[in-house]
Chains A and B, each alone.
Chain A
């Protein structure tokens, strides 16, 4: 049972480059989330989705885009990478019921130089 799979684990980008962080879950979860965690800080919500075809902005959406064409996949796109986007990115998923916890991927460590 893979759970939530994030790829890549590590990436170094040059300023202005673009990339897509992949996230896939095999638990048939409706809800999926993207967070970023800066060093020593908490998690900030970037985007989230409550089902295929539905996405919504979180706390820090600027500089990112998402799509949700299937229940399983929720890729995060960075356009024109900036040093401020250096962070660890976590994807998470859950069922829709209020009390169900998030299942997290192992994170992607991104450095923009």
Chain B
């Protein structure tokens, strides 16, 4: 069964520093996708970045990049030059490509950016 693990319940980071949020996953499917979402205190869910299992390059979107290590089954989100507005909950999610179309989420990491 597919599984997502985020082991950092909370993190405090100084503004302008880079931050890495950990995500490990488990699946027996060869085809899958990994997503990161941000949830500010207002509650909405915002899509940040996607990595496919067959993508050879690590995904990047502006200040967000994904450190994808397939053999280790990890898909860590890296935020460069953190800003106060990055303070939020961050969720890693996975969808298996062939077995079924469930999308499951990790428990999340609450990121606090300190001025």
Q: Chain A interface (Cβ within 8 Å of chain B)?
A: 31, 33, 35, 40-45, 48, 50, 56, 58-59, 88, 90, 92, 94, 96, 98-99, 101-102, 104, 106-107
Q: Shortest Cβ distance from B27 into chain A, in angstroms?
A: 13
Q: Which residue of A lies closest to B110 (CB)?
A: A40
Query: Which size bracket describes the interface of B in this complex?
Result: 20 to 34
Given A42-B91, A98-B97, A107-B43 contact (CB < 8 Å): yes
**Which chain B positions have C-beta within 8 A of A98?**
31-33, 52, 95, 97
Q: Interface 1/0s, chain B 27-50, versus A by CB < 8 A?
A: 000011101010000011101001
**Which chain B positions have C-beta within 8 A of A106?**
43-44
Q: Chain B interface (Cβ within 8 Å of chain A)?
A: 6, 31-33, 35, 37, 43-45, 47, 50, 52, 91, 93, 95, 97, 100-108, 110
User: Can you pick out 16 interface pairs between chain A and chain B where the beta carbons lie within 8 Å of each other?
Assistant: A33-B103, A41-B108, A42-B107, A43-B105, A44-B105, A48-B102, A50-B101, A94-B103, A98-B32, A98-B33, A98-B52, A98-B97, A99-B33, A101-B35, A102-B45, A104-B45
Q: Shortest Cβ distance from B81 into chain A, in angstroms?
A: 24
**Which chain A positions have C-beta within 8 A of B6?**
42
CB pair B108–A101 under 8 Å, yes or no, is: no
CB pair B105–A35 under 8 Å, yes or no, is: yes
Question: Which of B52, B91, B101, B110 has a CB less than 8 Å from the CB of A48?
Answer: B101
**Which chain A positions have C-beta within 8 A of B95?**
98
Q: Which residue of B lies closest to A44 (CB)?
A: B105
CB pair B44–A41 under 8 Å, yes or no, is: no
